[in-house]
Amino acid sequence: MKSIAEILGKESLEREDLIRVLEADEGECGPLFERAAAVKRSGVGGRVYLRGLIEYSNICSKNCLYCGIRSGNAAAVRYEMTEEETIAAARHAFERRFGSIVIQAGERDDAPFVARMERILRGIRALGGGALHVTLSLGEQTPDTYRRWFEAGAHRYLLRIEASSPDLYRKLHPDDARHRHASRLEALGALRDAGYQVGTGVMIGAPMQTAADLADDLLFFRDLDVDMIGMGPYIEHPDTPLYAHARRLPPAQKRLELSLRMVALLRVMMPDINIAATTAMQAIDPGGRERAILAGANVVMPNLTPARYRHDYLLYENKPGLDQAPEESVELLEARIRESGGSIAYGEWGDSGRFLARKSGGPPA
Ligand code: SF4
């Protein structure tokens, strides 16, 4: 059996290499994290980009089997922020020198929602003359909606594939016309056509998922030539059908370790993309985001959602930071990043290097 160091010495990582690393004993993985840190230094440097997260609404028309705000969860208390509240949260981000925000919500495609989001985007663009970059994470929409939101001021879009395997995707979602793997792939193509920097991602350690599935996910990201990734450990929510598998899952810490390996492997495979240190990592370990940064991530998303809504945007159990002011979270983060030799890039858009290289016709880093 090849050592991890031997595998990492190869020019290109193949499926069996990825499976071997994902299944390796913990004590074998030092070379992986060392390599990822070196690739990160030369690919994107030591700076960490901020994305202020605004959880606009937990109203969702879909019913994904793992999600706490699925439409079938009658226990969820639903909310939608007003246009004024959303623009005020964006202004707060701008004044705190965040270069960029993420607007996230459950998936809806009704005409009033689409028009409201368009107005919000125009309102945000007016702040500081377009100084704030906007990422949307609002699910599958028509190509026309993607184009309208892009023209109104959105720059990036995160649409997690959740599972690149159609078979696993089907097990994690209801088997109906609203939850089709093929539609999700089409939507990712439409986003690129509309001009966005495109991000995707998966859950890690989900029920019925294998190391081979995760290896295929990494190859899927590479083949799709993504600009950014948001992936993190699967965390169960008691009001979901997948909770029935909770007792058979590996411990949460193991899912976090696996997530850190996924981040490190992806950094080695795609040196110049943006990789987020996600909140789900912090939910398992208070230092999870910082560990992800050391493993290769370069983006963090402090939560700027008004406090009165935060408790209702619960995709999974034990979500952290529900009562923490964003200032506290950023200050703590900044101190920890400094300790590890990095720094926060205030006031910068932090566009994906991969996206910029593609736009200018250059090769990947
Ligand atoms: S994962 Fe997204 S689309 Fe699915 S139920 Fe949750 S919010 Fe809705």
C-beta of 139 in contact with ligand 1 (< 6 A):
yes
For residue 71, being part of any structural domain is answered with yes
Helix (H, G, I), strand (E, B) or coil at 251: coil
CA dist 179 to 49, 61, 161, 245, 350, Å? 32, 11, 11, 21, 32
C-beta of 106 in contact with ligand 1 (< 6 A):
yes
Nearest-CA residue for atom 2 of ligand 1: 106
For residue 227, being part of any structural domain is answered with yes
For residue 109, being part of any structural domain is answered with yes
Residue 144's CB: how many other CB atoms inside 10 A? Answer: 11
Which pLDDT belongs to residue 308?
A: 84
- Ligand 1 atom, smallest distance to 315 CA: 6
Which pLDDT belongs to residue 130?
A: 86
Residue 346's CB: how many other CB atoms inside 10 A? Answer: 14
Domain, as residue range, for 178: 39-359
For residue 4, being part of any structural domain is answered with no
What is the identity of the amino acid at 20?
R
Q: Which two tokens mark 116?
A: 């409201």
Name the pTM for this structure. 0.94
Span from the CA of 126 to the centroid of ligand 1 (angstroms): 30
Q: Residue 298 phi/psi, 5° resolution? A: -140, 15
Helix (H, G, I), strand (E, B) or coil at 48: strand
Which pLDDT belongs to residue 338?
A: 83
C-beta of 60 in contact with ligand 1 (< 6 A):
yes
Nearest CA among 271, 310, 278 for reference residue 205? 278
Which pLDDT belongs to residue 316?
A: 65
Q: Can you say whether residue 347 is alpha, beta or left, with left for phi > 0 and alpha for psi between -120 and 50 degrees? A: left
Alpha-carbon span 55 to 339, nearest angstrom: 30
For residue 208, being part of any structural domain is answered with yes
Q: What is the pLDDT along the chain (365 residues), one digit of tens a residue?
A: 889 999 999 999 999 999 999 999 999 999 999 999 999 999 999 999 999 999 999 999 999 999 999 999 999 999 999 999 999 999 999 999 999 999 999 999 999 999 999 999 999 999 978 899 999 999 999 999 999 999 999 999 999 999 999 999 999 999 999 999 999 999 999 999 999 999 999 999 999 999 999 999 999 999 999 999 999 999 999 999 999 999 999 999 999 999 999 999 999 999 999 999 998 998 899 889 889 999 999 999 988 998 888 877 776 666 666 666 666 667 777 888 887 778 999 989 999 999 999 888 766 56
Which pLDDT belongs to residue 364?
A: 58
Number of domains in the chain: 1
For residue 12, being part of any structural domain is answered with no
C-beta of 201 in contact with ligand 1 (< 6 A):
no
Rg, Å, the chain Cα set: 19
For residue 331, being part of any structural domain is answered with yes
- Using an 8 Å Cβ cutoff, are 296 and 274 in contact? no
Nearest CA among 343, 361, 359, 330 for reference residue 155? 359
C-beta of 62 in contact with ligand 1 (< 6 A):
yes
Which pLDDT belongs to residue 325?
A: 64
Which pLDDT belongs to residue 36?
A: 97
Nearest CA among 228, 196, 192, 229 for reference residue 214? 229
For residue 91, what is the domain's CATH number?
3.20.20.70
* Ligand 1 mutation target, pool 65, 70, 181, 236, most atoms within 8 A of CB: 70
For residue 34, being part of any structural domain is answered with no
- Ligand 1 atom, smallest distance to 68 CA: 6
- 276: Cα separation from own chain's centroid: 6
* Ligand 1 mutation target, pool 61, 62, 137, 178, most atoms within 8 A of CB: 62
Alpha-carbon span 257 to 249, nearest angstrom: 14
